[in-house]
């Protein structure tokens, strides 16, 4: 019995050591994920662009609508790139262009084909400067009188919120399953990746936000969103296992500018969830029901005065 107790204590100590000194660096490192498709694959006209941010040359695409009623800056999530198959990004861009909304998107630093800094993602703390650089590119290359929107998915949603807190000027905001609570998203992400209980990853999530500089408390997106003045459409997959509904509901309860819409539950085994494993419905609203998603977007655009007739 004593040997079992010693072994159990040793195992706990080993896991705590891993959680404090190894997992925060390992789990937040962006893996290689090169861009291998293009908007032309879905029939979109586009231009390759380079956005300069903090001395980094970030590759992206400019997909102009013929008569734009708005311009959308799209921000992908952690470990992804501008062509996330979780979201079905290319068809999402095409859907916006069909709605007379031009789209600008890039690979964030440390992602896709973008240059590496330290190779880690930071849940919006560093990445938000890339979004600010996108806005500057639009200032130089487009008509500034055209309304401007920012859209982010998962960590991209947190990135949008951090950019807003740092002066990003837009007319509207669309968030898709945003990462509002960094520590919870990290713990749930650990469970999703491994299948082990999320409680095992709480020490790592605490260490990542306490010692490794990731957002926590007043610097977390869920706290910053309470002060956002722009109207926000928050699209939430109700069963998202990583960026959970409870945090979206809490945000909507603190800021009347947030319009929270909840997608319909998606049954396990649905074709739109194929190859997603335990990630399930994370950022899956558009891929699982593009018509519902774009209807929600258009209703929101009407509330901010962006009607199809305002061309």
| The pLDDT of residue 251 is above 80 | yes
| The pLDDT of residue 309 is above 60 | no
Min mean pLDDT across 13-17, 152-156, 296-300, 302-306 is at 13-17
Mean pLDDT along residues 55-65: 97
Whole-number percent of the chain with pLDDT over 70: 97
| The pLDDT of residue 311 is above 50 | no
Q: Which of 101, 34, 32 is nearest to 65 (CA)?
A: 101
Q: How many CA atoms lie within 13 A of 256 on its CB side?
A: 0
Which residues fall within 8 angstroms of residue 79, CB to CB, at 6 or more apart?
A: 30, 31, 33, 111, 121
Tens-digit pLDDT profile for residues 82-111:
998 899 999 999 999 999 999 999 999 999
pLDDT at 13 (0 to 100): 80
pLDDT at 70 (0 to 100): 96
Mean pLDDT along residues 192-220: 94
Q: How many CA atoms lie within 13 A of 153 on its CB side?
A: 27
Domain ranges of the chain: 39-180+214-303
Which residues fall within 8 angstroms of residue 145, CB to CB, at 6 or more apart?
A: none
- Please give the CATH architecture assigned to the domain spanning 39-180+214-303: 3-Layer(aba) Sandwich (3.40)
Min mean pLDDT across 8-17, 207-216, 285-294 is at 8-17
pLDDT band at residue 9, thresholds of 50, 70 and 90?
Answer: confident
pLDDT at 304 (0 to 100): 87
pLDDT at 221 (0 to 100): 98
Q: What is the mean pLDDT of the chain?
A: 94
CB burial class (10 A; 0-12, 13-18, 19+) of residue 66?
exposed
pLDDT at 310 (0 to 100): 43
Q: Which of 128, 134, 115, 111 is nearest to 28 (CA)?
A: 111
pLDDT at 32 (0 to 100): 86
pLDDT at 8 (0 to 100): 65
């Amino acid at each position: 019995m004593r040997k079992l107790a010693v072994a159990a204590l040793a195992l706990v100590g080993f896991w705590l050591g891993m959680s404090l000194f190894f997992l925060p660096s390992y789990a937040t490192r962006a893996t290689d994920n090169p861009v291998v498709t293009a908007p032309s694959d879905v029939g979109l006209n586009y231009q390759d662009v380079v956005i300069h941010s903090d001395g980094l040359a970030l590759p992206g695409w400019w997909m102009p609508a013929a008569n734009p009623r708005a311009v959308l800056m799209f921000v992908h999530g952690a470990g992804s790139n501008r062509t996330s198959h979780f979201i079905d990004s290319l068809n999402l861009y095409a859907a916006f262009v069909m709605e007379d909304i031009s789209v600008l998107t890039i690979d964030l630093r440390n992602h896709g084909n973008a240059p590496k800094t330290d190779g880690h993602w930071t849940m919006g703390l560093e990445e938000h400067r890339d979004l600010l650089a996108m806005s500057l590119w639009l200032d130089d290359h487009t008509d500034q009188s055209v309304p401007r929107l920012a859209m982010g998915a998962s960590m991209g949603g947190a990135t949008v919120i951090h950019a807003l807190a740092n002066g990003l000027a837009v007319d509207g905001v669309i968030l898709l399953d945003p990462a509002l609570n960094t520590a919870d998203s990290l713990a749930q992400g650990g469970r999703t990746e491994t299948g082990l209980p999320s409680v095992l990853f709480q020490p790592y999530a605490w260490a990542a936000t306490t010692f490794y500089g990731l957002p926590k408390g007043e610097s977390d997106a869920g706290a910053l969103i309470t002060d956002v003045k722009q109207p926000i459409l928050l699209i939430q997959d109700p069963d998202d296992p990583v960026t959970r509904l409870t945090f979206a509901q809490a945000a909507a309860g603190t800021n009347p500018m947030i319009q929270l819409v909840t997608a319909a539950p998606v049954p396990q085994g649905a074709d739109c969830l194929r190859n997603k494993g335990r990630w399930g419905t994370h950022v899956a609203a558009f891929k699982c029901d593009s018509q519902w998603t774009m209807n929600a977007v258009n209703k929101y655009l009407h509330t901010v005065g962006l009607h199809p007739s305002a061309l």
